[in-house]
Chains A and B, each alone.
Chain A
Amino acid sequence: MSARQTITVLNPAGYPPRVTGKSLAPRLESLDGKTIYLVDCRFDDSDLLLMQVQGWFADHMPSVHTVLKQKNKVYAADDPETWEEIKAKGHAAIVGVGH
């Protein structure tokens, strides 16, 4: 085969799933008087960072009620119990620290 001769080869990549668009949750008008859950993913000291976020709200937006909540599972696992609690008792959430 000469160096300039063309050949056909197969594509080694797999078949990706179809992506279906999903809507984000409606946002709040403001955070005043709202309960914000700070969800600790329990990875690489994420709770320590969220404590500082909690401190920032206390200093700058004291009307916001913050709840520091540890996930019931390791960081990559789904945690329906925690999500249900936040849905029932909170208005919004900050989840961290993912990676």
Chain B
Amino acid sequence: MTLDVTYQVPTIAVHTHIFAAVTRAVARANGTPRMRQAYVPQPVMGKTPAELRAYVDGTDPVTKLPFMREVVDGLTGALSEDDVAGLSYERTADRLCAPNTEDQLHRFFLDQHWTDHLPIVLPTEERVAAMLAGTSHQPTEVVGHLRPTSHREAWEFTVEKVAVNAVMAGASAEHLPAILALASSGITARGSSSSSFSLMVVANGPIRQQLSMNAGIGAMGPYNLANAVIGRAYGLLSQNLQGGSIPGETYMGSQGNGYSYNNLTFAENEEASPWEPFHVQRGFQPADSVLSIFTGCQATAFTLGLRRGHWQQHVCNMLRALDPDFPPTLLLDPLTAHQFVEIAGLPSKQAVIDWVYEHARMPAAEYWDYQLVQNYILPRATFGEEPWASMLAAPPEELIRIWRRESINVVIVGGEANPYWRIMGANYVKSVNVDDWR
């Protein structure tokens, strides 16, 4: 699109057919609804040269026209008036919905794709006003912008809009500063990626007690109001304030992700942890109330405790279960954290991170053949970005480190019922300060 519109080079974009609705919507939102686009069947990945040649020699599965005729026609011929003018338009954003009965409004919200398909609390003016009492910020203040993915347009939203979504999620005024902080992050909890990633939100500092968040038994499950509604509100506000999260249009997660219902929101068990809290590792003060956002959460490896005989091998087995593009975040019950100290002899979070960094390895050839490594890491390696450029020079059989040290994280969560623990494939993205939104 940039090449055609900005650099004025006649261009046709080729996509796989499953993304037809998405790509056309993006072109329209960028003011070029007649942008030339052609489609081949999904998937391209894993096909033989002969199969791909059949795609090229065949028909576009969307338009049913010969694929290469569309390509050639897309680059030649006179432009129409519509091609030159593009399309300009305003989209309305009414503050209120038309009055209706509660039943009809619930139906309307479902039809508009404004819910997560669980029942919601209708955001009446009274409820939204009560919610807004939870912050000193003005209802009209712009909080930020969100978009489903980097190549779509960003939508803007205010404090009041966040409060509306907070009401829908079942939250109360006391939860609003935390929800506003997440909304201000610029990170959507409804990314459109076909990878079906979910976010994970970890709370640290006094906010955990102030909102009675759960860091103990069942912390990552459906057993706590604040954990549930803050995470759910983050999801609802993301889909509604960014312009949607509709399967096939603005959401393409091939399998979906159940964690997205509340974005795996929980508190770190700072009191039972032998180590410093996560937010302190990230430069905050212990008394700061902080929410830290991770993305990924497709892969989870799990076991019970550390065994003196073979704990090293067991941990390495768990690490190998993750995709290399999503680094390990160790979620340790406090009992497990103490086992890392006493059995593994790793006295700090950093020592655990260092051990994982050194021991998570695989043959170079195997690493570089992962599809997500090909998609996201190989391009950076081939253009000299370290440490991947050096890793790319390794012989195929060399055991190379899978992750950068700084991408590995440790969080303590759980109620000491047993030293169960897991490793989540999740990238740490950002921390936000709740105190900024009180």
Contact = CB atoms under 8 A, between A and B. Distances in A.
B118 interface: no
Interface stretch (B98-106, B279-287, B304-312): B98-106
Given A92-B75, A93-B9, A12 B114 contact: yes
B13 A98 contact: yes
B31 to A, nearest CB: 4
Interface string B370-388: 0100111011101100000
Interface stretch (B50-58, B290-298, B326-334): B50-58
Interface in A9-34: 9-31
Chain B: interface size category: 35 or more
Interface in B103-126: 103, 105, 109, 112, 114, 122-125
Contact of A19 (B5, B15, B78, B89): B89
Interface stretch (B152-160, B170-178, B390-398, B419-427): B152-160
B162 to A, nearest CB: 10
A99 B93 contact: no
Contacts of A72: 379, 383
Interface residues of A, number: 69
B155 A9 contact: no
Given A7-B124, A15-B93, A97 B102 contact: no
Contacts of B29: 19
A25 B164 CA distance: 43
Interface in B320-363: none
Given A13-B114, A76-B151, A7 B100 contact: yes
Interface stretch (B41-49, B219-227, B259-267, B407-415): B41-49
Interface stretch (B79-87, B203-211, B429-437): B79-87
Contacts of A14: 93, 146, 155-157, 161, 240-243
Top 7 closest pairs, chain A to chain B, by CB: A21-B86, A96-B14, A14-B241, A14-B155, A25-B8, A14-B157, A44-B45
12 contacts: A8-B124, A12-B168, A14-B146, A14-B161, A19-B31, A19-B88, A22-B86, A26-B8, A49-B56, A53-B68, A87-B8, A93-B12
Given A23-B5, A95-B3, 20 more contacts: A5-B101, A7-B122, A13-B243, A14-B157, A14-B242, A15-B158, A19-B91, A22-B31, A23-B83, A25-B8, A30-B76, A31-B72, A31-B75, A44-B44, A45-B47, A48-B44, A56-B57, A92-B75, A97-B40, A98-B13
Interface of A: 1, 3-31, 36, 39, 42-46, 48-49, 51-53, 55-56, 60-61, 70-78, 83-84, 86-87, 90-99
